[in-house]
Amino acid sequence: MASPASGTRSESDPAAGRPRVAFQGEPGAFSEEGVLSAFASPVAVALPTWRAVFEAIHSGTVDAGVVPIERSQGGSVREIYDLLFEFDEIKIEAEVSVPVHLALLALPGQTLDQIERVYSIAQALDQADAFLRARPWQVMTSYNTAGAAKAIADKSEMGAAAVASARVAPIYGLEVLAQDIQTGAANRTRFVVLAREPLPCEWLTSAMVNGPMKTTLVWAVRNVPGSLYRCLGCFAERKINLSRLESRPSRGVRWEYVFWADMDSEPDSPDCAAALAALLREAVMVRVAGVYHRAAEE
C-alpha cells in the first residue's frame, strides 16, 4: 500500500483517496505532465527542488514523486541517481516517457520583434538553440520552464519571453509567440515514479502497468583490475541485456564509483536471478532500485 500521507485527509476533502504526487517546478512544468501521464487522478504538489521531492516522499508528506531521469537529447539527469543512492528506501515504481514540445511565451500583445530577453532552464535553452540563435536575444537560465513563465507574468516583464510548454501560457496569462521551437521531432524526457511502498495499481494509468519489465540496479565494484568487466560478464554470459549503464561517484570513498544499470528483465526470472547471484559474489554492494514496466514511447 501507499505511504500514510493520503490517510491524513478527511473524507470531506475533495482530494481524499487521491494520491499526492510531488514534482519539481511550477504548475505547467514538464514534470507535472509526467505526473498527469503516470497517475489516473493525482493531486500534483509543486516543490522547488528535486531534493525537496525526495524529502517529501521520505517524510510521508506525499505518496509519490515524479522526477526526470533521462533526456533524449541531454542524457542522464545525474543528480537523480545521486539522490536515489542517498535515499535508499525510495524505489522506482514506474516510468513514463513525455514528449517535449517547446514554445516561446510572452505577455499578451508582445511580438517577436519586441523580445529582448529569453528565460528557461539550461536544458530547454539548449534544445531550442537553433531557434534562439536566429535572433539577437539575451538568453538567461531559470530554475524551471514553467517558473520562467511565471516570473515574467508576476513581474509583468515586457520584452521578455520564456521557453516552456505551450500549456503553460493560459496558466499564467501569457501568449504563444512561436510553437515547436525545439530542435528535432523526437525530443522526449523519461520520468520515473518514486515511492517508499508499492503503489496501488488503480492510482496509475493503464500505460504504467503494461509492457515488458525492467529492473534498475546499483552496485559497487572492488578496486582491483577487471572487476567491472567481471560484473558485466554476469549479465553477458546469461544473455541479459543492459539497456543503460551509468557511473557516479560513491561519495563515500574518494575516486571510487558506483554503477547504475537498467536490465531488460525482472529479478525473479531464472537467468536474472543467476546473474544477480553471480554479481553478489563479485561486487561489494548490490541494490535493486526498482522493478517496473518499461515506458511506452508513443
Q: Is 206 among the domain residues?
A: no
Q: What is the mean pLDDT of residues 212-219?
A: 95
* pLDDT bracket for residue 206 (50, 70, 90): confident
Answer for the pair 126, 183: CB distance below 8 angstroms, yes or no: no
Query: Please, which residues bridge with residue 257 across strands?
Result: 249
pLDDT greater than 70 at residue 298: no
Same domain for 194 and 60, yes or no, is yes
Average pLDDT of the segment spanning 81-100: 95
Task: Look at residue 194 and tell me whether its pLDDT is greater than 90.
Answer: yes
The pLDDT value given to residue 13 = 57
Q: Work out the pLDDT band at 17, boundaries 50, 70, 90.
A: confident
Is the per-residue pLDDT at 185 higher than 90?
A: no
Q: Tell whether the model's pLDDT for residue 289 goes beyond 50.
A: yes
Q: How many Å apart are CA 264 and CA 213, to the nearest integer?
A: 7
Q: Which residue range forms the structural domain that includes residue 241? A: 213-289
Annotation says 189 is catalytic? yes
pLDDT of residue 143: 87
Average pLDDT over residues 82-109: 96
State yes or no: is 39 an active-site residue.
Answer: no
Same domain, 79 and 194: yes
Residue tagged active-site, from 191, 215, 216, 235? 191
Is the same domain home to 193 and 91? yes
CATH code for the domain of 125: 3.40.190.10
- Amino acid symbol at 261: A
Q: What angle do CA 205, 246, 53 make, to 5 degrees?
A: 45
Q: How many domains does the chain have?
A: 3
Q: Which CATH number does the domain housing residue 219 bear?
A: 3.30.70.260
- What single letter denotes the amino acid at residue 218? V
| Residues 125 and 77 placed together within one structural domain of the fold | no
Catalytic residue among 189, 215, 216, 259: 189
- For the purposes of burial, counting CB atoms within 10 Å of the CB of 232, is it exposed (0-12), middle (13-18) or buried (19 or more)? middle
Is 298 part of a structural domain of the chain?
Answer: no
Main-chain dihedrals φ then ψ at residue 247, nearest 5 degrees: -110, 145
Q: Name which of 101-110, 123-132, 191-200, 203-212 the model is least confident about.
A: 203-212
Pairing state of beta strands 64-71 and 188-195?
A: antiparallel
| 69 lies in the same domain as 193 | yes
Give the predicted TM-score (pTM) of the model. Answer: 0.88
Q: Closest by alpha carbon to 230, among 284, 288, 289?
A: 284
Report helix, strand and coil shares of the chain as percent, to nearest 5: 30, 30, 40
> For all residues of the chain together, what is the average pLDDT?
91
Nearest Cα neighbor of 216 from 139, 122, 145, 287 is: 287
More confident residue, 298 or 93: 93
